[in-house]
Each structure stands twice: as C-alpha cells, then as structure tokens.
Amino acid sequence: MNAILSAAQLTGLFLFLGGALFRRLLWNAVCSNASASLTQCFRARSGRLMSAGAALFVVTTLAALLFSDRPAVLPGILSAILAPVFVIVFLIAERRDANLLWISSTLVGMSIVGLLAASSHAAAESGVLAPTANIVHWLAALTWGGCALHLALLPWPALDLEFRRSPSPLGELAGRYANIALPALIVIVLTGGLLAFIHVHNVEAMNGTQYGLAVKIKAAIVAILLITLTINLLKLGPACRQPIAADKSELHKNPLQRFRRLVRLEAVLLIVLIAGSGILQTRNPPGVPPFINPQTWQITAGEVPLTIQLQPVAGSASRIRIEITSASADSRFPDGSIAEFDLTVAEQNSGARNVEAVSIGPTGFLGETSIPVPGTWHLDLRITYPDQTTVVADYVFEIPAQPLQHDLTAYLSLAAIGFHSANVITFVIGLLLVLTAAWLIRQTRRARAPAWIMPVSLANIVLGGYLVLSVTFVKTYPSTFWSNPAPFTAEVIQRGDVIYREQCAECHGITGKGDGPWALQKRGKAIPDLTAPHMDVHTDGEVYWWITYGIPSLGQPALGAEISENDRWAVINSMRSFRHGIPVQARP
C-alpha cells in the first residue's frame, strides 16, 4: 500500500513539476513559432495534465500521512499546500511573462523538491553530501522524466499536420530533447551511484535485500534509456529535419512515428522507474554492515534437542555457516534425512529461504548463507526424515551493527586517493575513462567517429565514474586521512603518556588493555583493547577524531576541550607504543 501511494505521489510530481520543466526547457524554446491552433491545443492539454498531476500529488500525499507507518507530517502537509500554488503561479507567469512570478514559481518548485528530500532516506545520513546528492538526483530525474512523459502525451495528430508543413521544428525538438535528457541521465547515474554507495554497504547487501534488488532494476532501466537516447541523438535528430514522407507505404520510415515510439518507450520505462522509486522510499536501506560474532544456541525440534552454531566465514563481512548438530548422544539422523532452513529479517523483508544444509554425518548438518544487514533475524528450521516425518524449530536472535559505523559521515575525499597505491591507479584509470569517453562522444556528435562509439562511451563514463567514486567516496571522518604531525619519538611518547594517564587510563587502563577501574566497576568487563591488532586498522586521523569528539555509540566522551591539539597527537603516539613498543628508557 505504501509503495503504491509513493509511486502515485511521484507520478503526480512528474506531471506537474516535470511538466513545467518541459514547457520551459523544451517546448517553448522549440515551438514558439508553431501555429496558433497547435499552441492552443498544447497549452490546454499541458495545463490539464499539470493540474491533474498536482491533484494526484495532493491526494496521495495526504493519504500517505494517514496510512503510512512513519509519515513525515510537516514536509507532507507543506508540499501538499505548495503543489497547487506552484501550478497556479507557473501558469499565470507563463501567460503574463512576469519575471517576479517566474522567480516565485521557481522558489515554490525548489521548496517542494527540498521538502521531499527532507523526508527521504538521504536526509537521515550525517553530513550534507547525501541530502545534496539526493536533491540533484531528483532535479535531474524531473528534468528528463518531465520531458519524456509530456512528450509522450503531446497531441501527436496535430503535431503530424504541423511538421509535414515544416519538418525542421521536429528535428529541433528531437535534438534538443536528447541534449537535455542525456546529461540529465548521466547526472542521475552518478548521483544514484553515490546514494547507492551511502545506503548499500556491500555486494551481499545489494544482492540480499529488496532495497538492493530495486536499485539494480533501476540501474538496468537507466542503461536501456541511455541506449534509446543515443539512438535519438544520432539517428532521429538528423532524420527529423528531413521532409516527412507523404506516401502511406513509406509511413514506417516516418521519423515522426519513430520518434513518437521511442518517446513512448522511454515514458513506459519512466513509469517502471517511478514504481521502483516508490519501493525504495518505503524500504529501509541496508545501512551499516552487520557485526557477526560466533554464537551457539540450544533449541528443540520436536523432541530432538539441537545445538545450533553460527560462525562467520573468513574473508567475508556477511557470509555465515550454520551447523546443526544433535545435542544428545541418543539422537541420530538416519541416512536420507534432509535439513532446510529459512533465515529472514523482518526489518528488511528479506533474507534466504529454503537453504539446504548438507549432511555431515548422523549427528548433524552444515549450511551456508549470508546475513547482509543487522537486525532481528528469524531462523526457521525443518528436518525431514526418510519416512517423510518432519520436525520443525525456530529461533530469534539479534545481529548488531558494526561498532563505530553510526558515527561515520559520507564524504568525497581526494585525500583518500593517496592512502594506498591501488587507490591512485583506480582513480587514474577511472578519470581517463571518463575523459576519453567525453572526447569520443564529442567526436561522434560531429560525425567524426562511428555511431556505435556513442553507447560504448556512455558505458565507459558510467564505469569510469564508478571507479572514481570507489576511491574518493568514503564513509569516514573528516580527519581520517590526516597525517600525525607529532614524530614518533621517546620525548613525544613520554609527553603523551602523562596526558593518557590523566585523561584515559581510568577507562582504558595503564597499559591500554581496556581494564581500567571505571570499565571494570561500571561495566563489569574490559572495554576495547588498545594493544589488539584492530588498532592497526584505524588511522591516526580516526583516533584523533575519537579523542576530539568522542564515540557516542560506545560512550567515549569528547576530550577536545581538555586536551590541546598537539597533545592529542602525542597521546595517539603513546597509544601506538602500547602495541609496537618504544625504547625502554622512553617510558618512566
């Protein structure tokens, strides 16, 4: 229900806000000299479509406020009020050509987009990168989608009569549409890829959740759209400038009919994209990766006591093995017994079903699957004996998120390129692909290269953009890639030791093993060990951020006001010395 309402709301948005962009960017610029009858027919139909779109948007927005589980009340009410205001102001501005009204309608339209972005998943991300990318993504989608949808709904019989008298406006319309839609789709791809990086943390999450499936479907549709726009740009644009065949036997060669079919195909694909966007808006993104530790449970299947062991698979952040063994020496599984299980998470409405566990002898079974997201997971187990008797069991367990992940922020960081030599190579290859593809597209447009190079170049832009983003887009802290300005010397470490014992030893312990008095008394257990191998994974810049601003998810206090900047770097060197050692005389 929520997905249907969201898709209908977006359809209304494309009709009224996308219609305004179509009239401003495409129709008025190309067909300003069209006949009075065609202009009147277009204005009447377009005005009705925009009004119907605004009405649909208002109704579905209000319905979403009533029936949605998590309605964004204030953004929804404001956008519902502003939608009809936008249509009225825009149509009056177009009739009177008043600059003040044009500015007013633009501000109202941007406000509607901003309100929708404020209630999106990107708004929940820290930093400004995700919300900004989301707004740019929607503006590009409305620019292309509004043009495609309203082109498909144009009065084509009247256009046929108009362009038979003068085919040049049709060629201008097709060419200008491609020139607007192609850059818009490239922006959609880049910003959509950036948002996918933010919302979907790895391949397992992309393949194992409904959110990831919707993202992949949208990506496939956009790839088809890039091909259709290439055809329009290279084939139909020039063809539409030629005289239209009057002979009915040549109607299949009529560029107007071909352009109409192409635009209608793109409008249908737009509707599918809108449906996919509706699903995305009503599904929680996978978000942060899971933190999988070995777990053991005792459950009962019928009257058979079982021991279930969950073990993470080495080298993977999400793959797990589940071993099902008899907890009693008296219980054995006869030859031919089959074990299957479902492992699902309600928060994502996803998971694996009918996973077969391989027999490892008369005492148990072993199965492998993935847990791509944190949450409350449900294990439903079925063991079928050779006589077709089935015993079932179920268990509910929690998988937490990776520690520290909720405190990270998405950034585009050029400093990340130099962090590893492989990052430099990846960035250079990606940049070369983008620049080469852009040059080849320019050559194709000038008829200096074969037409088939255009779609190949578009694919290379997408691939190059992905490679560039993969090393420059990071979910981290602003200081992660900062270098420690304090040298790793005995004098600096001694100074850091003094401050560490004053500010940190109460929790982390004198030697950094996490066994300070506060940790043992208040929590009853040690906190993270600063001498453990995990410290080598974190950069000095990350540790500097934690000291300065704290770690809210772990209860680490912010010490930026108590410790000066230089002393913070000295403390980091002191922490490093716990694991990697220093000359004996350095520590008192």
Task: Give the domain ranges of the chain.
Answer: 2-281, 295-400, 413-471, 490-586
Q: What is the rounded average pLDDT of the residues 522-545? A: 78
Cα 407 to Cα 403: distance, rounded to the nearest angstrom: 9
Of 227, 210, 225, 344, the closest CA to residue 285 belongs to: 210
**Averaged pLDDT, 485-502:** 89
Spatial distance between the Cα atoms of 5 and 69, rounded to a whole number of angstroms:
12
- Given a contact cutoff of 8 angstroms between Cβ atoms, the answer to whether 346 and 332 are in contact is no
pLDDT, position 588: 47
- Rounded CA gap, 76 and 62, in Å? 7
| Stretch 270-285: mean pLDDT | 80
pLDDT at 146 over 80: yes
User: Which residue type is seen at 114?
Assistant: G
- Rounded to 5°, the CA angle 417-420-423 comes to 50
Q: What is the mean pLDDT of the chain?
A: 80
Instruction: State the first-to-last Cα distance of the chain, in angstroms, to the nearest integer.
Output: 68
Per-residue confidence band for 568, with pLDDT thresholds at 50, 70 and 90: very high
What confidence score (pLDDT) does residue 32 get? 61
Question: Looking at per-residue confidence, does 402 or 220 come out higher?
Answer: 220
pLDDT for the residue numbered 71: 59
Closest by CA position to 500, among listed 490, 491, 511: 511
Q: In what order do the strands lie in the sheet with 304-312?
A: 295-301, 304-312, 319-326, 364-370, 350-359, 338-345, 375-384, 390-399
* Backbone Cα Rg of the chain: 30
What's the CATH code, domain 490-586?
1.10.760.10
- Judge: domain 295-400, CATH 3.80.10.10: no
pLDDT at residue 571, as a whole number: 92
Q: Is 502 helix (H, G, I), strand (E, B) or coil?
A: helix
What are the angstrom distances between the C-alpha of 568 and each of 202, 497, 506, 536, 547? 33, 11, 17, 18, 7
Predicted local distance difference test score (pLDDT) of residue 246: 46
pLDDT on residue 163 = 66
DSSP letter for 252, please.
G
Residue 170: Cβ-neighbour burial (10 angstroms; 0-12, 13-18, 19+): buried
Return d(Cα 259, Cα 154) in angstroms, integer: 12
Q: Is the pLDDT of residue 587 over 80?
A: no
The least confident of 158-172, 212-226, 541-555 is 158-172
Tens digit of pLDDT for each residue in 124-133?
A: 776 677 888 8
Residues recorded for the chain: 588
- C-alpha 171/C-alpha 569 separation (Å) is 64
Q: Is the model more confident about 342 or about 375?
A: 342
Of residues 204 and 564, the one with the higher pLDDT is 564
**Residue 116 CB contacts under 8 Å (≥ 6 apart), including other chains:** 13, 75, 79, 138
pLDDT at 580: 79
CA distance 309 to 366: 10
pLDDT of residue 252: 40
One-letter amino acid for residue 523 of the chain: R
pLDDT of residue 432: 92
**What pLDDT is stored for residue 499 in this prediction?**
92
Residue with tokens 């192609």: 182
pLDDT at 570: 92
**DSSP H or E segment with residue 78:** helix 73-96
Supply the pTM of this predicted model.
Answer: 0.72
Cα of 304 vs its chain's centroid, Å: 45
Does residue 65 contact residue 73 with C-beta atoms inside 8 Å?
Answer: yes
